[in-house]
Amino acid sequence: MNPTLSYLQELLAIASPTGYTRGVQDYLVSTLEKMGYQPVRTSKGLVHVTVPGQDDDHHRIVTAHVDTLGAMVRAVKGDGRLKLDKVGGFPWNMIEGENCTVHVAATGKTVSGTILIHQTSTHVYRDAGTAERTQDNMEVRLDAKVTNEKETRALGIEVGDFVSFDPRTTITDTGFIKSRFLDDKVSAAILLNLLRRYKEEGITLPVTTQFAFSVFEEVGHGANSSLSDKAVEYLAVDMGAMGDDQQTDEYTVSICVKDASGPYHYEFRQHLVELAKAKNIPYKLDIYPFYGSDASAAMSAGAEVKHALCGAGIESSHSYERTHVDSVAATERLVYAYLLSDLVK
């Protein structure tokens, strides 16, 4: 299998809702050490590795995030089921019917379950199909013999326990990748494969580059810290948003020109466009109207850098997502070309 897809499958198999990312951090550190790197894990949990380049007076930052959407136990109900509080931004209907895992802090064990609206049965509730899905009526049906709050609490489950969603990863014979959390584990897999190639092929980058894997992107502050003082360029590799009025598709790399934080650096994004044209990499330009990235978080924190954003086109973002291997390949080619190019002028 393509190494990038292998890394992707391994990443997707690790539960990592924002705030519960120790497992995926450990995976990154172990994988990078096996490649021959010396990764650093910051107090915040960001994992980064610096690759020396010919120009060490200026540095580049390239990021992908490995934290995902998820939930926390908000309350244990009288009937033994759980109320939830969201981690990250998604409508409740996007997770209805999804299998999930409760990560019990008190015991270190897990309890499986399913996320449902309270009035699910159409044989009992007239509004089963029409009721608004809210925090008050969405709940976890545990796969345990519990009928009341006392029995559920006896499992060790408590308010604040994290709940992860089943990714349901599938790669079809036609090249489609279906899974939750392709945002942004596709990009993390791409960066891992590039780092592998640099070691195995003896590639020296023209500019010293810090590869950063962030763990708080879904809640807004991502990789906005621990940046090199020499950094002059910051590329966030994240997902390309698809939908009405969007050019992004599942077969090209998407280059973002503007998101909810404002326009990205014009010369930087044009640099990416020219690289795509020169290397015959299929691309689309797009605006992501309700979106923020690690790069925009860094800008809000005061980073003095040129910033840009590109990524694979992801269909049905923050739901059961899909992309195609063509989009993954185009994104990897563009990031590879960028990191071998001269600094943006």
User: Which tens digits make up the pLDDT trace of 272-318?
Assistant: 999 999 999 999 999 999 999 999 999 999 999 999 999 999 999 99
Is 286 marked as binding a ligand? Answer: no
Averaged confidence pLDDT in the chain: 97
Q: What are phi and psi of 260, to 5 degrees?
A: -65, -20
- Per-residue pLDDT tens digits for 178-226: 999 999 999 999 999 999 999 999 999 999 999 999 999 999 999 999 9
CATH code linked to domain 3-68+181-340: 3.40.630.10
Which stretches of the chain are assigned E, i.e. beta strand? 40-41, 47-51, 53-65, 70-76, 82-87, 99-103, 110-117, 138-142, 162-165, 170-171, 176-179, 205-214, 231-237, 240-241, 253-259, 262-263, 283-287, 306-314, 321-324
- Per-residue pLDDT tens digits for 84-97: 999 999 999 999 99
Annotated catalytic residue within 217, 315, 321, 332: 217
Q: CA of 4: how far to CAs of 19, 140, 171, 256, in Å?
A: 25, 34, 13, 23
Is domain 70-165 in CATH 2.40.30.10, yes or no? no
Would 3-68+181-340 and 70-165 be classified into the same CATH topology? no
**pLDDT attached to residue 335:** 98
Is the model's pLDDT at 18 over the cut of 90?
yes
- Per-residue pLDDT tens digits for 48-71: 999 999 999 999 999 999 999 999
Say which DSSP state 284 is in: E
Evaluate whether 94 touches 318 at the Cβ level (below 8 Å).
yes
**pLDDT attached to residue 1:** 72
**pLDDT attached to residue 299:** 95
Q: Encoding tokens for residue 254?
A: 């998407």
d(C-alpha 155, C-alpha 76), whole Å: 12
- Domain segments of the chain as ranges: 3-68+181-340, 70-165
Is the model's pLDDT at 344 over the cut of 90?
yes
Counting every residue written for the chain, the total comes to: 345
Is 218 marked as binding a ligand? Answer: yes
Is 318 marked as binding a ligand? Answer: yes
**pLDDT attached to residue 149:** 98
Nearest Cα to 245, choosing from 273, 286, 284? 286
What pTM was estimated for this model as a whole? 0.97
* Torsion sign across C-alpha atoms 107, 112, 113, 115: positive
Q: How confident is the model at residue 116 (pLDDT cuts 50, 70, 90)?
A: very high
What is the signed CA dihedral for 285, 68, 260, 324, rounded to 10 degrees? Answer: 20
Is 265 marked as binding a ligand? Answer: no
Evaluate whether 77 touches 159 at the Cβ level (below 8 Å).
no
* Torsion sign across C-alpha atoms 287, 300, 238, 50: positive
**pLDDT attached to residue 275:** 98
The proportion of the chain whose per-residue pLDDT surpasses 90, expressed as a percent, equals 100
Q: Encoding tokens for residue 340?
A: 């071998």
d(C-alpha 64, C-alpha 135), whole Å: 30
- The reply to whether 139 belongs to the active site is no
The proportion of the chain whose per-residue pLDDT surpasses 70, expressed as a percent, equals 100
